[in-house]
Structure 1
Amino acid sequence: MLVQEAPIVWNSLKGLICVYKPAEVSVHKMRKILISKICQEMNSLEGRPPSDYVAIEGDPSQKLTVSVRPNFADHPLVVGPRYQNQDLHVSWSNFLGFYTNGVLLFGIRDGTRQAKFIRENRPTRAYRIKGKLGEVTDNCFKTGKVVMKSTWRHVKQEHMDRFLSAMQASHQKKMFEMCGVDIQSQTAYELAIQGPIRPANSKIPIIYGIKCIEFQPPEFTVEIQCINEYEDYLTHIIHEIGQKLHSTAHCTGIQCIRHSRFTLEHALLMKHWTLTNLLKNMDVCSKILVESGENLPRKSSRLV
């Protein structure tokens, strides 16, 4: 049960939360909605009383009188609500595009340091991307204008799997080339067993794994593990798949299913954004960080 004293709740509201971002809602708008809901509910709790005003009155040459009276300069009706939007610091750990839905991490107050720590260490993310064969749009997404149509019935799942395997192998080779290491060497093996190799340049997208998990032509879904990706890059992957399969394709949906160790299971829907649920979610996220050994900021060790 949530404590009714606002100062106690405010002191507990420090950490990382995992929420679910719907499609066609920007991260900036999500942040504003979150801040507004928190402040609105905080102001509905029992706040601290206005501080007293101590007045010393009388003739200085004679005995003075000390009186305590209400301090109207500290009253909420004069200064406004105790908790205002600009008082709450919130930052995101991963930025999802406008059309992307899924796992989104926010750091609240002291949790902004944890959000920054995770963001700067560039963890891998997993996506489910839906595509449709036979049409190409001017922005490679379903919201764009169809500029070309083609046949797609010749495309089989084995063709799709073969190309995705080649794409994954190409990216793996690219990772080692950026290290200046031969993929067949012992050095490459030693690098691989230490974990995912992250490029030094944070603007270079790298795919660690990609596979087709659903194929019902003309609709299909691919699951991708990657780093340094962005929304346009993911939509263009679907466009490239269509081209390589001697057809055309455009993206119909993007869902982030994992960011670092946080998955859809941990994501809190917007309709459940209450102080009670946010504090519970903050505890869950804190346990995940402790279990992963990432609870306290520390220097990142990168291989590239």
Structure 2
Amino acid sequence: MKTRTLIPKIKHVVSDARIAWNVLNGVFAVYKPPAVTYLNTRDTIIYRLCEDLNSMQVRPPIQHVCIEGDTTEKMEVVTHPSYADHPLVVGPRYQLKDFKLICANYLNTNSSGLMICGINDSTKLIHKLKASKPPSSYKVKGILGQATDNYFKTGKIVERSTYKYIKRDVIDRMCASMQAAHQRKMFEVSGIDIQSQAAYEFAVKGLMRPANNDIPMVYSIKCVDFTSPEFTLEIVAINENEMYLKTLVHDLGIQLHSVATCTQILCFRYALFNLDLALLPKHWELQNILDNIEQCHDILNQNRSLLKQKNPILTKQNN
């Protein structure tokens, strides 16, 4: 594994692979397309970084020193590139196994949108970011009148229902009711009376976070677009996953006395980062990622408190 040293930020195009490798250490944002797995996204990024680094000026082979000549006379010291260190023998200077890359907000196959990644030594920063439990914001699209076996448009339709009687104001009321129910349930799970002084003190401190990472919590759910039978929900939550978001759409359909299926899940904000920062797949190149790392670290430097947040965490109270 190659070593990395911290060097000042660069403001120009990098042409030396060794310099690029040293600064390839930070947090950056990418756009994950739908119907693409996280592992495929990760492998594609690393593969392109390898290609870009190996196409640049790389370290020359080390010199092999040998002594030549007749042993009965004055001998000569000769140096030449070592074949044991030549790229044609040992392979490219930079290989897939040299990279470490993880993401803070894991997106499943059917989900798309913003994904915050940490590369090489900055994987530690990603762990700190995840530990701060920042909320994620999604735009979730659905369609009324049909239900599938996997709660998503790719599944087999198992039920159809009428939907023309459903109006925008009804969806708004149901969303407000679902939001209140989720937050009330969080207090109940934690053993805190929502009408108590303790509940008020938790609320004024900021976003409440469940101690158990397996418990999803919805902070906000509202309808931002409705063109029957299609609708779009804007959801802010933590500890969520793709199936949980699909289930919210399914439950909404039931509460509307109909059925509904999720058709799209788009993550447009995570912590301090939004979708405007995300690199499209066609821009997953070394120079673009280095520039994006600089942008993301400027955001983190301006908001250092993000990684030190001590927001209230709801735990089970003793009776």
Task: Give the TM-score normalised by the residue count of structure 2.
Answer: 0.90
Q: How far has the Cα of 1:287 moved from its partner?
A: 1.1
- Alpha-carbon separation, structure 2, partners of 1:284 and 1:216: 37
* Aligned mate of 1:203, from 214, 222, 247: 214
Amino acid at match of 1:40: E
Q: How far has the Cα of 1:148 moved from its partner?
A: 1.0
| Preserved contact between residue 192 and residue 198 of structure 2 (Cα < 8 Å) | yes
| Preserved contact between residue 175 and residue 197 of structure 1 (Cα < 8 Å) | no
Residue deviations 1:202-243 (CA, integer Å, cap 9, x gap): 111110010000111111111000011111111111111110
Give 1:1-304 correspondences, 5 Å limit.
Answer: 1-56=12-67, 65-293=76-304, 303-304=313-314
- Alpha-carbon separation, structure 2, partners of 1:302 and 1:42: 44
Residue deviations 1:181-219 (CA, integer Å, cap 9, x gap): 222223222211222111111111110010000111111
Amino acid at match of 2:184: K
* Matched residue SS, 2:179: helix
Residue deviations 1:29-71 (CA, integer Å, cap 9, x gap): 0000000000001000001111111235689999775332221
Shift of the 59–206 alpha-carbon distance from structure 1 to 2, 3 Å rule, reads same
Work out the number of aligned pairs and report it: 303
| Preserved contact between residue 205 and residue 311 of structure 2 (Cα < 8 Å) | no
Q: How far has the Cα of 1:174 moved from its partner?
A: 2.0
Q: How far has the Cα of 1:298 moved from its partner?
A: 5.7
Shift of the 167–301 alpha-carbon distance from structure 1 to 2, 3 Å rule, reads closer
* Matched residue SS, 1:110: helix
Q: How far has the Cα of 1:5 moved from its partner?
A: 0.9
Amino acid at match of 2:32: K
Shift of the 245–84 alpha-carbon distance from structure 1 to 2, 3 Å rule, reads same
Q: How far has the Cα of 1:162 moved from its partner?
A: 1.1
Amino acid at match of 1:181: I
- Alpha-carbon separation, structure 1, partners of 2:270 and 2:113: 9
Q: How far has the Cα of 1:121 moved from its partner?
A: 2.6
Shift of the 178–56 alpha-carbon distance from structure 1 to 2, 3 Å rule, reads farther
- Alpha-carbon separation, structure 2, partners of 1:3 and 1:163: 54
- Alpha-carbon separation, structure 2, partners of 1:209 and 1:76: 54
- Alpha-carbon separation, structure 2, partners of 1:285 and 1:122: 18
Task: Give the TM-score normalised by the residue count of structure 1.
Answer: 0.94
Amino acid at match of 1:13: L
Q: How far has the Cα of 1:115 moved from its partner?
A: 1.4
- Alpha-carbon separation, structure 1, partners of 2:255 and 2:95: 53
- Give the corresponding residue for 2:4: none
| Preserved contact between residue 178 and residue 199 of structure 1 (Cα < 8 Å) | no
Amino acid at match of 1:17: F
List runs of 5+ in structure 2 lacking aligned partners. 1-11, 315-319
180-189 or 102-111: bigger deviation: 180-189
- Alpha-carbon separation, structure 2, partners of 1:60 and 1:226: 79
207-216 or 58-67: bigger deviation: 58-67
Amino acid at match of 1:303: I
247-256 or 58-67: bigger deviation: 58-67
- Alpha-carbon separation, structure 2, partners of 1:61 and 1:89: 54
* Matched residue SS, 2:40: helix
Q: How far has the Cα of 1:302 moved from its partner?
A: 5.1
* Matched residue SS, 2:195: coil
Q: How far has the Cα of 1:159 moved from its partner?
A: 1.3
| Preserved contact between residue 257 and residue 264 of structure 1 (Cα < 8 Å) | yes
- Alpha-carbon separation, structure 2, partners of 1:114 and 1:300: 17
List runs of 5+ in structure 1 lacking aligned partners. none
